[in-house]
Structure 1
Amino acid sequence: MSFPSTRVNASRVLDDPTAPAWAAETARWARDELGTPVPALGRPGTLCPYMPRALREERVELTECGLPGVCAADLVTHLRGSAREFAEEAGRLPPAQALLSCRIVVYTALAVPDRVLTEVRRRVKPDLLAQGLTTGEFFPENNDRSVRNATVPIARSPWPALVLRHSTPHDRIFLTDRPDLYRVFREAGPGITATAA
């Protein structure tokens, strides 16, 4: 089953006054929240170390999913299809560029984003890790905290979203409390081991 979705480049949306609100707000969030240094984080740098360069090199894609989320199975199908497309497109890039690439799937019609996104991520993440990909969930009331400083929220966004990217060796720290997922990650290996030189 295929679901239509709008795709835009986050870097181009930042300077486009005609961009839809979901895209403009998500692009600003990627730049200002994920790509800006957070001194309280417990380590130097930005929340997402790759985001500033990824935006400069136009490697951040935004896609809209307008499904209402009444049926989690539809959202799972949509995310799996989006992950397949992302993997195919990023797979044609040199590893250093693929490392910078991500797709932010923005859900513009979810009634209960926290419950629904958590369920979709739970169902899809093992398959993604087995393919060398990973995903993180973001939504306005997300209470996930930094592994280095529990006072710093790290996953709040203006719109509910799931971010797709290649897994890296560093992702093991996010999986240590999930032996089932860590086992899949360890067996498959990271999707990218290159550095963004």
Structure 2
Amino acid sequence: MPVYVLRHFRAEIIRLLFVAKGQEFEDKLYTFETWPAEKPNTPFGQLPVLTVDGKDYTEYTAINRFLARELGLMGSNSQEEYEIDRVISLSSGVSAEVIKIFHEQDKDKKAQLEKSLRENVIPKFMSNLEQLAPPEGTGFCVGNKLNLGDLIIFDTIDGKTDDATMNKFPSVKAIMDKVRSNERIKAYLASRAPTPFD
């Protein structure tokens, strides 16, 4: 059984992948105060880093895809992998906006960016997802079982919209509900420690 060690500020997708499969891992969460001492010990001087049996893996999206494959959460065939990759690409625009908000120092500009995220960026992301959702309404973005795409959708949207907006996108809501109702994930969400980005 591989030994997994995750060093990060907020690598929530990676943590959700482990949790969803019930896979044990060492969760090393850094703060901006504890990070400088660790930085020289990381490839490229950045986080996250996933260490598997002593080998380091870097770059968040690449780690997500690698780990999803290792844990059986990357789709059942190349078509499903493509559809999950499409979700990854769509979510990257939202992630860029979230990072912009985090780094903005001006309070008024930050408030404007947050408003735009809630009222424009997230609804557009959900609208795009709604067009791609399977017509049979399985509650999964691809196939008939939990996968990396579902976890990315959940993490990208969770806490960033309201019920009224969510109800406009029933297929996306079904995915959110399915992830949230997963017994392992439900227990994790109830007990997870906050990160520097929360």
Q: Please report the TM-score for the alignment, with normalisation by the length of structure 2.
A: 0.34
Give the number of the structure with larger relative contact order, counting CA–CA contacts within 8 Å between residues 6 or more apart: 2
Q: Which has the larger radius of gyration?
A: 2
Q: Higher strand share goes to which structure? A: 1
Q: Higher helix share goes to which structure? A: 2
Q: Please report the TM-score for the alignment, with normalisation by the length of structure 1.
A: 0.34
